[in-house]
Chains A and B, each alone.
Chain A
Amino acid sequence: DVKVTQSSRYLVKRTGEKVFLECVQDMDHENMFWYRQDPGLGLRLIYFSYDVKMKEKGDIPEGYSVSREKKERFSLILESASTNQTSMYLCASSLWGRLYSSGANVLTFGAGSRLTVL
């Protein structure tokens, strides 16, 4: 069974702390994504990566950075956490492919990491 595993289900951090959210997938997927989910706003893309050491900004990258040193692992970093970063963070992965490629572009999600910044 394919899996995307997020290291922490719940985290509580203090303002100004550096926070690492880890995501690992075992499906040999090229693409990996970080979204944040907020009530009434749906999911918004923070960053994504389509290859090792490659990254692209999403729609709300401010205050975040990412790291992808290995194909299976994609980390989200909050350099200095702030209260407005309290949210649910979802990691996802997918096969790379042209838009209508069979099996490509279907995202598999992790269970989510709920971060509270006090």
Chain B
Amino acid sequence: AQTVTQSQPEMSVQEAETVTLSCTYDTSENNYYLFWYKQPPSRQMILVIRQEAYKQQNATENRFSVNFQKAAKSFSLKISDSQLGDTAMYFCAFMKSLGRLTFGEGTQLTVNP
């Protein structure tokens, strides 16, 4: 079975600074997807970024980028130029087939003014 671990329950960052959220996973599969989802306070979960395991190039979406280390089974999220609206719970997730996602425990990120 796949497991996803987020070892940082809470993090904080000053507005405009950069923060990195960690995620590790365990799988014997070679083909899979990795995701970061964001859940703002009292709002629904939305996709931040995703990475196909066969791609060596790290995915980027505006201020969000990932550092995907397949051999190390590590998938960290970097948020540059942090904004107050980035305050949210962030979940790392793994998918191998049929849309089934396995989520990590979540990291609560607070951006301070």
The answer to whether A and B interact is yes
Which residues on A are within 8 Å of B, measured CB to CB? 31, 33, 35, 40-45, 48, 50, 58, 90, 92, 94, 96, 99-100, 104-107, 109-112
Whether the pair B47, A41 counts as a contact (CB closer than 8 A) is: no
User: B44's contact among A44, A50, A109, by CB below 8 Å, is which?
Assistant: A109
Contacts A42-B106, A99-B33 hold; do A109 and B46 have CB atoms under 8 A apart?
yes
Which residues on B are within 8 Å of A, measured CB to CB? 4, 6, 9, 31-33, 35, 37, 43-47, 50, 52, 54, 91, 95-106
Residues of chain B within 8 A of A48, CB atoms compared = 98-100
Cβ contacts A to B, 29 pairs, < 8 Å: A31-B98, A33-B99, A33-B100, A35-B103, A41-B105, A42-B4, A42-B103, A43-B91, A44-B103, A45-B101, A48-B98, A50-B98, A50-B99, A92-B45, A94-B99, A99-B95, A100-B31, A100-B52, A100-B54, A106-B35, A106-B50, A107-B45, A107-B99, A107-B101, A109-B37, A109-B45, A110-B44, A111-B43, A111-B44
Whether the pair B101, A99 counts as a contact (CB closer than 8 A) is: no
Whether the pair A96, B99 counts as a contact (CB closer than 8 A) is: yes
Can you name the residue of chain B whose Cβ is closest to the Cβ of A95?
B99
User: B31's contact among A40, A99, A111, by CB below 8 Å, is which?
Assistant: A99
Q: How far is the CA of A113 from the CA of B43 in the complex (A)?
A: 11
Can you name the residue of chain B whose Cβ is closest to the Cβ of A93?
B99
Chain B, interface SS category: loop
Residues of chain A within 8 A of B37, CB atoms compared = 107, 109
Whether the pair B103, A99 counts as a contact (CB closer than 8 A) is: no
Residues of chain B within 8 A of A104, CB atoms compared = 99
A-B pairs with the 5 shortest C-beta distances?
Answer: A109-B45, A42-B103, A43-B103, A31-B99, A111-B44
Residues of chain A within 8 A of B101, CB atoms compared = 33, 43, 45, 107
